[in-house]
Amino acid sequence: MSEEKNLIENGLYEAMIVGEGRVYENANKTLVCCFTVDISGIERKSFLALTKRDGSVNEFQVKRVKEMFPEWDGDPAWLGINENTGGVMVVAEIVNENGWSNIKELRSQESVENEGSKIPESMDNKALSTKYGSKFRALLGGTKVAPPAQEQPNADPPMSAPPTPAPTVEEPPAQEPPIGPEPIETPKTSAKAKAKPKSKVKPKASSGPF
């Protein structure tokens, strides 16, 4: 098989553990478990460091191995038995380096499925605008983007002055009608009426001396 056919594009692939793992200490005294992995007919080696160079437990990697083999009780020798590990389906992350497709990580199928269903939280609006706003505005011709509106604290509305009462007008007391017969209205004499002249009395003719 040519090297070109052995190349696998970068990405995540379903894979199967072939046989048992090889558990050993390398030159740096790090405990390593090596698995042979089949990816669609192409085999690759995966080296999992179970400890660090200082001899402490590599908690991250040990938890990953536990996810792939839920029945594992933590004994490294258990990983070297074919009946325990052979045929187990996993997910291999392929990364091409120096013309060769290497396995960067081995993970359980369940962990990959759970991560795919999660939606990451959005960044803070102010941080987004500060970090990327100027870059995108420059690309789009300098269009200014209004900053996100800041929420104002809830404040009680100002109290309005009470309405001014309308002035009250006191009505005069009703006059009671006079007791007794109503007066007779006398007709008023017209100012234009002329007074009748008095009749002149004519003197009697003197009859002369007696």
pLDDT-based confidence at residue 115 (cuts at 50, 70, 90): low
Helices marked H in the chain: 3-6, 59-68, 82-85, 109-116, 125-139
Structural domain spans, the chain: 3-116
Confidence check: pLDDT of 193 > 60: no
Phi, psi of 94, rounded to the nearest 5 degrees? -100, 135
Class of domain 3-116 (CATH, top level): mainly beta
Report, as an integer, the average pLDDT of 184-193.
47
Could you tell me which of 34, 32, 29 has the C-alpha nearest to residue 55?
29
Tokens of 125: 């609006």
Between CA 191 and CA 196, with CA 195 as vertex, the angle to 5 degrees is 155
| Per-residue DSSP letter, 79 | G
Structural tokens at position 20: 């048992």
The mean of the pLDDT values for the chain is 77
Higher pLDDT among residues 115 and 103, named by residue: 103
Does residue 210 surpass a pLDDT of 50?
no
Q: What is the pTM assigned to this prediction?
A: 0.52
Please tell me the predicted confidence (pLDDT) of residue 67.
94
**Helices assigned H by DSSP within 86-124:** 109-116
For the beta sheet containing 89-97, the strands, ordered from the edge strand earlier in sequence to the opposite edge, are: 42-49, 31-39, 11-25, 89-97, 100-107
User: At a CB cut-off of 8 Å and minimum separation 6, what does 148 contact?
Assistant: 125, 126, 129
Q: How much is the pLDDT for 154?
A: 65
Neighbours of 33 (CB within 10 A): 22
Residue 24 has pLDDT above 80, yes or no: yes
**Cβ–Cβ under 8 Å, residues 90 and 37:** yes
Rounded percentage of the chain residues whose pLDDT exceeds 70: 61
